[in-house]
Copies of this chain bind each other. A is one copy, B any other.
Amino acid sequence: MAHKRDREATRARLLECSRLRFARDGYDGTSVRDVAGDVGVDPALVFRYFGSKSGLFTEAMAGSSAPVVLPDGPVEELPAKLLRQLVFEDWSEYAGEHPLIAMLRSSGHEDTKDRLRQQVCEGYLDVLSQLADGNEDKNLRTELFAAWLLGIGILRTAVGTPTLTKATEEELLPHLAAVAEALFGRPVPTE
């Protein structure tokens, strides 16, 4: 009675809730009953709509690729933008972590690993590689910088290292500029 009978709307709500569960608890830690319970629907409906649990997982992860910065501004501002998005944005909708970091928890499954790689490559490396233009090991430098951003996010949220967890964006920006300059050989403004 709380909701009308709307197949597409129910499907969408299942996907949304499952995304949060999968991100927070991982694939194995999430049960179909949990997700159905969040939506207020019978678990059997999940199998009617998605065939299986892994079908739900695949579709949920496919729809979560949205949050990626588009290269709309000058390339020099990209590192700061990505850092802000990866680390400091409010991901409370995704259980407090960037979806990419959360997805790492399920990287034991080969499907997840493939999607993870695809998302990192298309969403981050393609954009970041502009910064490495003119350098010798362009791709390697790009991936090394992406590794740093990812590592910062992980130390902050998944490990909970003391200093980095409490660091503010303003404290991080100077070091970001220094490392970016060292890797890309060009000045990167902090503002």
Chain A interface residues (CB < 8 Å from chain B): 24-26, 28-29, 104-108, 113, 116-117, 120-121, 125, 137, 139-144, 146-152, 154-155, 158-164, 167, 171-172, 175, 178-179, 181-183
A sample of 16 cross-chain residue pairs with beta-carbon separation below 8 angstroms, ordered by A number, consists of A26-B105, A28-B29, A105-B106, A117-B159, A125-B161, A137-B163, A140-B171, A144-B164, A144-B172, A146-B155, A147-B154, A147-B155, A148-B148, A150-B155, A151-B151, A178-B182
Closest chain-B Cβ to A176's Cβ sits at a distance in Å of 9
Contacts of A149 in B (CB 8 A): 151
Cα–Cα distance between A120 and B160 once the two chains are bound (Å): 10
> Which residue of the partner chain B has the closest CB to A114?
B160
A104-B104, A137-B175 known; 19 new pairs, CB 8 Å cut-off, are: A29-B108, A104-B105, A104-B158, A107-B158, A113-B159, A116-B158, A117-B161, A121-B162, A140-B175, A142-B163, A144-B164, A146-B151, A146-B161, A147-B155, A148-B151, A175-B183, A178-B182, A179-B183, A181-B182
> Which residue of the partner chain B has the closest CB to A182?
B182
What is the interface of chain A mostly: helix, strand, loop, or mixed? helix
> Which residue of the partner chain B has the closest CB to A142?
B163
- Is the pair A108, B107 in contact by a Cβ cutoff of 8 Å? no
Q: Given contacts A162-B121, A179-B179, is CB(A150)–CB(B143) below 8 Å?
A: no
Cα–Cα distance between A154 and B158 once the two chains are bound (Å): 13
Closest chain-B Cβ to A64's Cβ sits at a distance in Å of 16
Contacts of A179 in B (CB 8 A): 144, 148, 179, 182-183
The 8 Å CB contact of A147, one of B25, B108, B151, B182, is B151
